[in-house]
């Protein structure tokens, strides 16, 4: 059975970064409270056969460092109970995590006892529930230390012993939280983000050799006790060490590992105003598979290694606070590739984008029913008739075509995706002031900030293919206008639909358009305030009037669907009924106010 992995949106992605970690906040401990019998059944009924849970392995199986696992018995009891509950519904549990996690420099007791394990010093950032940032120093566990290498093997062996029914592990070895010495370091071409390796032992080795060695050690530890637990190696950001498709690293992996590769990253797509535009992130705009994914697939096929795709079927950073971005044509094309490669598993979400919708239903429908004798349009209409009984399938198909074209105008690049305003545009009110910018940080798009400022400049600084502020405004404007035309057609297509899916999906689509239109307004106000003068008050009021209309349009759909506005990675609502109402009241104080 190939892995088809999902997760609930409400289980906190915990145990991430803390100077003094509380292992009882780890998801391996807390997940049992969020995967009820009902949730497990729902996941099974939506055609997934596994869930993934974030793990800090050192808290769960101590290896050579028991002092890092103060509640090992409680951790193991609760994870065992989760595995047993999921098994009742045909679900396997997969633990996602780093082979090694660095230890805080403040843990002097640990480092005085294990000085021979110390590697690179790195900084990490702890984020409190109220959004406060705390930066602290960590020390990596050196992967060239024989004691650390033995710890990795023993930890994995213990994991397999304690959890024989575990589905598998999903191992990430490149940049995330500090872990091993190369986790955030390079040997060649260092830059501001990834400095040059200084560890005297690891600097003698190639970074891809270190990563492959850690995966192999973990694999060997598991195989010492289990032949069934899957070892999945995720290639996320291996390209920081060597050029994609990173064949040198893949060739060092044991043949029985499963290679998981991002389905869209590393692709190129012709957009209306940009040819061969690079795709550096998960995308529902871009169907994929990317050139890099296919190169990895070819390497694995030659090595007789199994492979999985990493997808986000619900939503992405393109608009992370909506239940799903209904780009069903893109979903069809992703599913068609998987139907043609049925041996390829998939992980369908990250720590957000995990609500069930027409997106997940259509992916599984198309994956099972794509045939050579049925073209794309017929397949799409067949799904429309099945999922939306009573609908006008021709009109619904036309609306999906408009949505597909509308998304191609989005300013797709790292800046707007990570630091843009889109996912929180219905709540961001501090931008809307008739005055010069204050220069306060507006925050990232995927984290919770109780108050967001008015500085959107990080959204304009990108790795490749910079979009100017004018291009961002124009892109969201065109996307929003086209999208609204699609929702009008969708409403007509679904007026006789006899399923509750009709109202849910229409409301979801309308909210997508509102968010993109609100994003355009936010960037327009930002442009005004960058060079503010009092005569701009009239244009400001015009934008304000449009923004209030958008927010009022959103209110009934947000009220009817409490899932909307929730961003699972942030673990908070980017917007809801109360937040939108508060913003409307805030904006009304400035409406029609003239500056003397």
> Is residue 51 classed as helix, strand or coil in its secondary structure?
strand
Q: Report CA dihedral (399, 405, 406, 408) to the nearest 10 degrees.
A: 150
| Those residues with Cβ within 8 angstroms of residue 82's Cβ, 6 or more apart along the chain or in another chain | 31, 32, 35, 53, 93
Dihedral sign (CA 487, 489, 492, 494):
negative
Q: Which residues contact 193 (CB under 8 A, 6 or more apart)?
A: 184
Q: Helices 393-407 and 469-493 meet at what angle, rounded to 10?
A: 170
Residues 14 and 533: their CA atoms lie apart, in Å, by 46
Each residue's pLDDT expressed in tens, for the chain with a length of 596 residues: 899 999 999 999 877 788 899 999 999 999 999 999 999 999 999 999 999 999 999 999 989 999 999 999 999 999 999 999 999 999 999 999 999 999 999 999 999 999 999 999 999 988 776 667 789 999 999 999 999 999 999 999 999 999 999 999 999 999 878 999 999 999 999 988 899 999 999 999 999 999 999 999 999 999 999 999 999 999 999 999 999 999 999 999 999 999 999 999 999 999 998 899 999 999 999 999 999 999 999 999 999 999 999 999 999 999 999 999 999 999 999 999 999 999 999 999 999 999 999 999 999 999 998 766 789 999 999 999 999 999 999 999 999 999 999 999 999 999 999 999 999 999 999 999 999 999 999 999 999 888 899 999 999 876 555 789 999 999 999 999 999 999 999 999 999 999 999 999 999 999 999 999 999 999 999 999 999 999 999 999 999 999 999 999 999 999 999 999 999 999 999 999 999 999 999 999 988 666 54
Residue 596 confidence (pLDDT) = 44
Q: Is 50 helix (H, G, I), strand (E, B) or coil?
A: strand
- Report the distance separating Cα 566 and Cα 562, nearest Å: 8
Using CA of residue 212, residue 213, residue 216, residue 217, what is the dihedral sign? negative
* Under 8 Å between Cβ of 180 and 119: yes
Give the per-residue pLDDT at 257: 98
Residue 349, Cβ neighbours under 10 Å: how many? Answer: 26
**Which two three-digit tokens encode residue 265?**
């990253």
Q: Which residues pair with 267 in a beta bridge?
A: 279
- From the list 300, 257, 351, 370, the residue with the least C-alpha distance to 3 is 257
Structure-block tokens of residue 286: 């871009």
Name which of 285, 282, 278, 173 is nearest 235 in CA terms: 173
Q: Which of 80, 46, 48 is nearest to 61 (CA)?
A: 80
| 546 Cβ neighbours under 8 A, 6+ residues apart | 517, 521
Query: What is the model's pLDDT at position 593?
Result: 65
| Nearest residue to 296 (alpha-carbon basis) of 344, 231, 347 | 344
Domains of the chain: 4-101+145-373 (3.20.20.80), 393-588 (no CATH)
Q: How far apart are CA 8 and CA 38, in angstroms?
A: 11
| pLDDT for res 15 | 72
pLDDT of residue 176: 79
Query: Residue 224 in contact with residue 160, Cβ under 8 Å?
Result: yes
Q: Give the separation between CA 231 and CA 219, rounded to whole angstroms.
A: 6
Token duo for residue 526: 């930002």
CB burial of 390-424 (b: ≥16 within 10 Å; e: otherwise) equals: ebbbebbbbbbbbbbbbbbbbbbbbbbbbbbbbbb
165 Cβ partners below 8 Å, 6+ apart? 83, 84, 87, 92
Tokens linked to 122: 């790195």
- For the entire predicted model, the pTM comes to 0.96
Cα separation of 256 and 409, whole Å?
42
């Amino acid at each position: 059975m190939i892995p088809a992995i999902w997760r609930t949106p409400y289980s906190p992605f915990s145990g991430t970064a803390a100077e003094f970690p509380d292992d009882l906040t780890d998801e391996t401990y807390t997940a049992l409270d969020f995967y009820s019998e009902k949730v497990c059944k729902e996941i099974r009924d939506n055609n997934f056969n596994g869930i993934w849970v974030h793990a800090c392995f050192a808290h769960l199986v101590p290896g050579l460092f028991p002092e890092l696992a103060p509640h090992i018995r409680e951790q193991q009891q609760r994870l065992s109970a989760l595995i047993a509950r999921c098994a009742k519904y045909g679900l396997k549990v997969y633990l996602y995590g780093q082979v090694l996690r660095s230890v805080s420099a403040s843990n002097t007791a640990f480092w005085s006892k294990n000085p021979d394990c110390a590697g690179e010093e790195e900084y990490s950032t702890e984020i409190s529930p109220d959004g406060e940032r705390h930066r602290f120093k960590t020390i990596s566990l050196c992967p060239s230390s024989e004691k650390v290498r033995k710890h990795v093997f023993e930890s994995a062996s213990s994991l397999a012993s304690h959890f024989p029914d575990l589905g598998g592990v999903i191992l990430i070895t490149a940049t995330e939280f500090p872990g091993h010495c190369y986790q955030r370091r390079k040997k060649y071409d260092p830059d501001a983000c990834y400095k040059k390796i200084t560890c005297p032992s690891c600097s003698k080795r190639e970074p891809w050799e270190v990563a492959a060695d850690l995966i192999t050690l973990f694999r060997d530890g598991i195989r010492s006790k289990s032949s069934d637990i899957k070892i999945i190696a995720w290639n996320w950001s291996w390209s920081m060490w060597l050029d994609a498709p990173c064949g040198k690293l893949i060739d060092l992996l044991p043949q029985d590992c499963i290679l998981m590769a991002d389905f869209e990253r590393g692709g190129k797509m012709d957009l209306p105003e940009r040819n061969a535009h690079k795709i550096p992130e998960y995308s529902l705009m871009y169907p994929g598979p990317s050139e890099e994914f296919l190169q990895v697939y070819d390497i694995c096929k030659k090595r007789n290694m199994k492979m999985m795709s990493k997808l986000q079927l619900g939503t992405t950073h393109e608009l992370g606070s909506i239940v799903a971005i209904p780009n069903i044509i893109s979903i069809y094309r992703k599913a068609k590739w998987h139907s043609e490669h049925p041996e390829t598993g998939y992980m369908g979400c990250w720590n957000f984008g995990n609500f069930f919708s027409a997106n997940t239903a259509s992916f599984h429908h198309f994956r099972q029913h794509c045939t050579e004798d049925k073209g794309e349009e017929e397949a799409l209409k067949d799904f429309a008739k099945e999922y939306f009984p009573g609908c006008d399938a021709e009109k619904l198909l036309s609306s999906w075509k408009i949505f597909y074209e509308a998304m191609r105008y989005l300013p797709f690049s790292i800046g707007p995706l990570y630091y843009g305003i889109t996912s929180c545009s219905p709540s961001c009110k501090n931008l809307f002031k008739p005055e010069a910018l204050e220069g306060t940080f507006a925050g990232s798009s995927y984290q919770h900030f109780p108050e967001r400022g008015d500085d959107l400049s990080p959204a304009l600084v990108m790795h490749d293919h910079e979009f100017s502020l004018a291009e961002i405004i124009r892109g969201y404007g065109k996307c929003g206008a086209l999208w609204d035309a699609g929702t009008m057609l969708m409403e007509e297509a679904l007026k006789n639909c006899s399923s509750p899916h009709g109202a849910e999906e229409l409301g979801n689509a309308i909210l997508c358009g509102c968010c993109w239109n609100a994003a355009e307004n936010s960037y327009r106000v930002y442009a005004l305030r960058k060079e503010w003068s009092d005569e701009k008050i009239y244009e400001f009021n015009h934008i304000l009037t449009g923004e209030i209309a958008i927010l009022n349009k959103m209110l009934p759909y947000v009220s009817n669907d409490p899932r909307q506005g929730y961003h699972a990675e942030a673990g908070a609502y980017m917007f809801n009924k109360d937040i939108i109402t508060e913003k409307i009241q805030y904006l009304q104080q400035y409406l029609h106010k003239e500056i003397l």
